[in-house]
Amino acid sequence: MINCGIDIGSNSVRMLIADVQDGKIRRAIADGRGITRLSASISSTRQLSEESMAKTFSLLFDFRKLMAENSVEKVFAAATSAVREAENAETFLQGARDIGIDIKIISGEDEAKYNFYGVYAFNSDIDNLLVFDIGGGSTELTLAHAGEIVQTFSVPIGVVKLCDIFGFSGINNSEKRLKAEAYIDYAFGESFAKIREKAGDFFLIGSAGTLTSLANFELALHSFDAAAIDRYILSLEVLDNIEHKLNGLYPEEILEQQGVEKGREDLLAPGAVLVKAILKGLGKKFCRVAVHGLKEGLTIHASEPFLT
C-alpha cells in the first residue's frame, strides 16, 4: 500500500511517501521537508503566526501534488507541540483542509509512540531501548523492551522554546547555556527520575532534526548525508566540542560554518545544551543518532492510525 506520513513539527515539516507492507516500509518513494518554525513566539503569544502558517501551507500544497503524482492511498498528517498549544489551531487546520490535507493533532504520548515505531523499524536489534525526540516545542521519550513500549514521557520543552526563552537568537555564551541547563534539569527532573528507577540498563537513541543537525555540524558535511549521520555517536565530549566551536558566535556567524543548515543556526547551541542535559540526566555518556523517526512512524501507521 502506498502510504504518506506528514509530520507537522514545531520547527520543520516533513513528509514521506512509501510502499508499506506488513507494517514495514518496503520502499521509500518520495520525501520532502522544510523549516517553517510554527512554534516561533508560541510561548509568549499562544498564536501561530501568519508567516509560519503561510510557509507551512506552501509546503503542504507541494506535498499534495506529490501525493497525487504517486497515487497515495492512505495519508496520516499529524501536528505536534506548536499546534497543540496554539489558540488559533483551528484556523491552521482549516487552511490545511482547504489544500486537501486533513491534519490530526496528536498528544505528546502518541507523538512519542509514533516516533518510537519509526525509529524501532530500523533499530529492531536492540532489546532495552530509550528513544528521545527533540522538537521545537517539546521533547518525547519512550522506554521499550523487545519492541514493546513500557512508558512514554512528553516534556513541553524544545529547542525553539529554549532559543526564545534564553535569547540564543543573539550571541551564544556560557551564561545562557548554564541558565538553559538548569531550566532543563528542573523541567525534566521527574521524567529522568522515573526512567532511572524503571529502566535498568538501556541503549539511548536520539532522533529528529536537532540530533541530525548537531551530527551534520560536527562532521562538517557540505549537505545532509543520511548514510553518514545515521548511527553517528553523539558523546558528551563531542557535544562539549560543539559548544566550544559555537561559543561567542551570533547566529549569522554560526550559519557561515560548514555543516549548518539555514534556519537552524540559532538552534544548534540550545540543541547541544538539551542533548547534554538529557545524557547527564539519564546517566549516559553518549547516544546514537537516528535519521528515522516520527514521519516514518506516521507512514507505517497511515493505514491503521489508532494506537492503544
What is the per-residue pLDDT across 278-308, written as a single tens digit (0 to 9) for each?
999 999 999 999 999 999 999 999 987 666 5
Fill in the DSSP letter of residue 37.
-
pLDDT per residue as tens digits for the range 160-219: 999 999 999 999 999 999 999 999 999 999 999 999 888 778 999 999 899 999 999 999
Q: In this predicted structure, which of 44-48, 104-108, 273-277, 293-297 has the lowest mean pLDDT? A: 44-48
How many folded domains does the chain comprise?
2
Fill in the DSSP letter of residue 15.
E
* Rounded Cα–Cα distance for residues 25 and 20 (Å): 5
Does some domain include residue 113? no
Q: What is the percent of the chain where pLDDT is above 70?
A: 99
Does some domain include residue 221? yes
Does some domain include residue 117? no
Q: Check pLDDT > 60 for residue 248.
A: yes
Name the pLDDT band for 40 (thresholds 50, 70, 90): confident
Same domain, 131 and 272: yes
Distances (CA, A) of 105 to 9, 16, 82, 271: 11, 18, 10, 24
Distances (CA, A) of 304 to 14, 78, 307: 20, 14, 8
Rounded to an integer, the average pLDDT of 65-85 is: 96
Rounded to an integer, the average pLDDT of 127-131 is: 94
Does some domain include residue 59? yes
Has this prediction a pTM greater than 0.85? yes
166 backbone φψ class: left, alpha, beta (φ>0; ψ -120 to 50): alpha
292 in Cβ contact with 119 (< 8 Å): yes
Does some domain include residue 160? yes
Domain that holds residue 39: 2-108+295-300
**Confidence at residue 208, expressed as pLDDT on a 0 to 100 scale:** 86
Q: Check pLDDT > 70 for residue 129.
A: yes
Rounded to an integer, the average pLDDT of 104-117 is: 95
Nearest Cα residue to 249 out of 165, 177, 159: 177
Same domain, 131 and 275: yes
